[in-house]
Amino acid sequence: MQIYLAPLQGLTDWIFREAYTEHIGKFDKTFSPFIRVQNGDFYRPSQCNDILPTNNTFQTPVPQFLGNKADAFQRFEELCHQHQYTEVNINLGCPFSRVVDKSMGAGLLSQPARIAEMLDGIFSTTKLKISIKCRLGQDETSEFEELIPIFNNYPLEEVIIHPRLGKQMYKGEVYVDEFVRYAPLLKHPVCYNGDITSIAEIEKIRTLSPMVHRFMIGRGILQQPFLLSEIRGQELTHDQRVRMIRDFHLSVIEYCKKKYSGDLHLLRRFVELWAYHSEAFEDGRKIFKNIKKCNTLAKYEGVIFKAISDIK
């Protein structure tokens, strides 16, 4: 079984991935949050920094492309070649309206002809291995029925499916029955992604869909950083967990100091992380409340290093 770390913009960037891999565990694959390319332009240099080899010393991520045209992809491919990447992922799942309204991410799922045109253009020249990360549709799960023959037309590395609809964002029902029905119709390896927070949930999917051996976990890892070790059958004492989580946070703080100028930028980022991560602690709610009140890095360090022995 292979376990991947999901791309989460602002959360599982190089800072998280480096600190996690060094101190907690190594995933079978990690992915960069999307790098948005539109009309041939990179939108945010900070997104490109995420895949710089100097920022990815413990594990090479799979860079993720967000766009809707082959020529934009070709610009992205140049960037990837520049840094010796051999595999990339295409985002067909981002549900945010500023992306969907521009027919990117999940906004492309209801336009199969545009997806086919983009993939035709990409595969006519690419030297990269390519996978897709998608949802079952933007408005209806039946949209996926038109996507299956299109995906099957290309030599994809794998298809990662988050079985929600774009219109649901990240909440509500996960369409497991539809996933189970559609996954075997794809000729590529399929990876399941969505709401995995325990081994029992992986087992549930494996029972329903025995051909699936790849699982991608996002928020579940922020909430339970030792879920990866549990899945791998590694037993950790409480003291080991405390040490690992302390070292992880020391590295996150050190890298953040390099990336951000001024405590407030750092603190904003830490609040986003702890919105999920506080669940890993016995008294998580109180810790999160205290973190939100911090207005200096020194206060933040005081709160979290006191809290760390509280890890579940």
Residues that bind ligand FMN (CB under 6 A): 6-9, 11, 33-34, 64, 91, 93-94, 133, 162, 170, 193-196, 217-220
Ranked by CB distance to ligand FMN, the top (closest) residue is 218
Q: Report, in Å, the least distance between residue 74 CB and ligand FMN.
A: 20
- CB contact at 8 A, 110 and 138: yes
CB of 238 to ligand FMN, least distance (A): 26
Closer Cβ to ligand FMN, 52 or 125, answer by number: 52
Which parts of the chain fold into alpha helices (H)?
14-23, 45-49, 70-82, 97-100, 112-125, 143-151, 176-182, 199-208, 219-223, 227-231, 238-259, 263-277, 284-293, 297-307
By beta-carbon proximity to ligand FMN, the closer residue of 194 and 284 is: 194
User: Least CB distance from residue 144 to ligand FMN, whole Å?
Assistant: 15
Q: Minimum CB separation from ligand FMN for residue 168, in Å?
A: 11
**Nearer to ligand FMN by C-beta: 65 or 281?**
65
Q: Structure tokens of 210?
A: 């025995």
- 91 or 110: CB nearest ligand FMN: 91
What is the nearest approach in angstroms of ligand FMN to the Cβ of residue 249? Answer: 20
Decide whether 94 or 256 has the Cβ nearer to ligand FMN.
94
Calculate ∠ Cα 93-270-199, nearest 5°.
55
Return the residue matching tokens 């390099």: 258
Of 55 and 193, which has the nearer Cβ to ligand FMN? Answer: 193
Minimum Å gap between C-beta 248 and ligand FMN is: 19
The DSSP call for residue 7 is P
Buried (b) or exposed (e) across 230-240, using 16+ Cβ within 10 A? ebeeeeeeeee
Question: Closest by alpha carbon to 101, among 167, 175, 173?
Answer: 167
Give 8 or 70: the residue with its C-beta nearer to ligand FMN: 8
Q: Is there a contact between 26 and 59 (Cβ–Cβ < 8 Å)?
A: yes
Q: Output the smallest distance, CB 305 to ligand FMN, in A.
A: 26
Closest Cα to residue 94, out of 73, 109, 83? 109
